Structure 1
Amino acid sequence: MANIVLTRIDERLLHGQVRITWGKHSGANTILIANDEVAGNPILQAPFKGAAGGEYHVLFRTVEQAIQNIPKAGPERKILLLCNNPTDVAALAEGGVPISEVNIGNMHYHPGKTKVDANVCVDKKDMIAFEKLRALGIPSTIQHMPESTKQVIFDVVGEAVA
């Protein structure tokens, strides 16, 4: 059975804060980036491998590959699962990946998105994905640093995104 120690949404994917703060806090030894674009492009993968600093085994998978492969991982592989959007996380969960909670990090502003937190902007598509996760019993919480208080995405968004 897969041992996912943290599932995080971070638009930047793997960077220093994830490696140093969240990696150590979670006890991960593997960082799995589930992203269709990055999985198929070694040029895009290079900076993420560098950001891992040699401390973690870094894997790149499409969402579908992650759905197929994560259940095969042994318990010794402590996985920090990274996606850059909630739609991919919802697809993973709907595909049977055992996600217990989603940590929402950085979701930047783009046209059509509404800022709901200092580092989180969402649109209707994002909220549909968070609704799917909630329907599966998976909480989604904004938490910038491990010592920060968790905020449930639906409590933060309220009526901001209709």
Structure 2
Amino acid sequence: MSDVNLLLTRIDNRLIHGQVGVTWVNHIGANLLIVANDKVSEDEVQQNLMDMVLPDVIQTRYFSLQKTIDVIHKASPRQKIFLVVRDVHDALKLKEGGVPIDFINVGNLHYEEGKKQISSTVSVDEKDIEAFKRLDELGVELDLRRVPSERGRNIIDLL
């Protein structure tokens, strides 16, 4: 088992797009972007669309949550990993499954009926709030910010 070189975990319901694929990848120096999501891990069309956003030097993997839990500890130390998940529930499942997540960038959770907006890009419901609080209890730092140049805020303070 190697030490996982997990640079950043981001919650973004858009998964890979320009902000993630260019701005964040360059800012943290990642060379491997893992999307951990059960649906996307089986959707080649969506994977190909997301790959088009990324520079050629970035490798991508599209894993189910369980596969991410099973293989993340086998990563080479050369792999500088940027882990992207669609929502807080996926992040919590990964953390509880043993993925070494200590810091999460909360970037984007779209508004839907029944959710309250807590920032310009993040809306949550009661189940989301419970999951964020559980991650906080597990010692995960929860930093709300869209782009690296923005000043981050602890999402727990906004719930």
Out of 19, 38, 46, the position equivalent to 1:36 is 38
Which runs of structure 2 are paired with 1:65-84 in the superposition (5 Å)?
Answer: 65-84=67-86
In the alignment, which residue of structure 2 is the partner of 1:59?
61
Out of 137, 145, 154, the position equivalent to 1:143 is 145
Give the distance between the partners of 2:68 and 2:54, measured in 1 at CA.
19
Out of 1, 4, 7, the position equivalent to 1:5 is 7
AA aligned opposite 2:26? K
Same amino acid, percent of matched pairs: 38
Secondary structure of the structure 2 residue equivalent to 1:90: helix
Across the aligned residues of Structure 1 and Structure 2, the Cα RMSD in angstroms comes to: 0.9
| Greater displacement, 144-153 / 114-123 | 144-153
1:116-158 CA-partner distances (Å, limit 9, x unpaired) = 000100111111111121111001110111121111111122x
In the alignment, which residue of structure 2 is the partner of 1:119?
121
Structure 1 residue 111: deviation in Å?
0.9
Secondary structure of the structure 2 residue equivalent to 1:108: coil
In the alignment, which residue of structure 2 is the partner of 1:16?
18
AA aligned opposite 2:92? A
Normalised to the residue count of structure 2, the TM-score between the two structures is 0.96
In the alignment, which residue of structure 2 is the partner of 1:160?
none
Structure 1 unaligned regions, length at least 5? 158-162
Does structure 1 retain, via aligned residues, the 8 Å contact 2:22–2:55?
no
In the alignment, which residue of structure 1 is the partner of 2:91?
89
Give the distance between the partners of 1:120 and 1:128, measured in 2 at CA.
15
Secondary structure of the structure 1 residue equivalent to 2:52: helix
Runs of 4+ in structure 1 over 6 Å off: none
Secondary structure of the structure 2 residue equivalent to 1:43: helix
AA aligned opposite 1:106? N
Structure 1 residue 55: deviation in Å?
2.8
Tell me how many residue pairs correspond in the alignment: 157
AA aligned opposite 1:6? L
AA aligned opposite 1:7? T
Structure 1 residue 53: deviation in Å?
3.0
Structure 2 unaligned regions, length at least 5? none
Does structure 1 retain, via aligned residues, the 8 Å contact 2:10–2:84?
yes
Give the distance between the partners of 2:116 and 2:86, measured in 1 at CA.
17
Structure 1 residue 92: deviation in Å?
0.4
